Amino acid sequence: MVRNLEQRPDTVLGLATGGTMEPVYARLVADYTAGHIDFSAIRTFNLDEYVGLAPDDPSSFMHYMRKHFLNRINIPAENAYIPRGNVADAHAEAMRYEYAIVASGGVDLQLLGLGANGHIGFNEPPAILSSLTHVAALTQATRAANARYFDKPCNVPRHAITMGVGTIMRAKEIVLLAIGAEKAEAAANMIEGQVHENCPASALQDHRKVTVVLDQKAAARLKHAR
Ligand code: PGA
């Protein structure tokens, strides 16, 4: 990825949030600080944002992105896109966001985490595998998994604006990372199961250029790990 950014300083990056991504951003910031990467011409599109949260809300994904990445590199603020959560019409915002991705020429390299339920972005199972950016309802399991970012579990929003699986599939290259035993079942379904709406990440089987990085615990349920 670093090589990719060195060679193409105007790369369009698709970005994800969550615990899995924190070391990735730490590494990119370290490479920037060491003078290896210049982010001044890069554009970024985040996967998703909670409906109802303002960009400066400490639980918003914009806040996460600024804290871990955007405020620590030389990306111009106007080049970092993330859906606006605190808008009157979230559906219109989702359409506007999809258009902005297309207008940028499309995502060159998309980073993805994996939900324990097989979600990518906030595309919760059962997911329409051709969907574009839309307003999605979060499952109880996902709200519980993300409650650690909120002062009270009941404050986790019920909806998010998310790139659709179809949006994600249009990225020219995808890198998915999953760490830990709680991702093992989803990782096995994603790689060895049928492409199915019950595991949104399984759609990636049909993508031409995807790399999946798992630690041993996340890979433990693969039948053909060798
Ligand atoms: P995590 O989230 O990295 O915090 O486990 C991943 C996801 O839900 O996509």
Q: pLDDT tens digits, residue range 54-81?
A: 999 999 999 999 999 999 999 999 999 9
Q: What pLDDT is attached to residue 206?
A: 98
The better pLDDT of the pair 101, 2 is held by 101
For 100-143, the DSSP string reads HHHHTT--SEEEE---TTS-BTTBPSS--TT--SEEEEPPHHHH
CA of 217 to the centre of ligand 1 (A): 15
Enumerate residues 6+ apart whose C-beta is below 8 A from 62: 46, 49, 55, 56, 82, 85
pLDDT level of residue 1 (50, 70, 90 thresholds):
confident
Q: What is the pTM of this model?
A: 0.97
Q: By CB neighbour count within 10 A (0-12 exposed, 13-18 middle, 19+ buried), where does 1 fall?
A: middle
CA of 183 to the centre of ligand 1 (A): 9
Q: Write the DSSP symbol of residue 144.
A: H
pLDDT level of residue 219 (50, 70, 90 thresholds):
very high
Q: Pull the structure tokens for residue 191.
A: 């790689």
Ligand 1, CB within 6 Å, residue ranges: 18-20, 113-115
Mean pLDDT of the chain: 97
Contact at 8 Å (CB) between 66 and 20?
Answer: no
Q: pLDDT tens digits, residue range 129-178?
A: 999 999 999 999 999 999 999 999 999 999 999 999 999 999 999 999 99
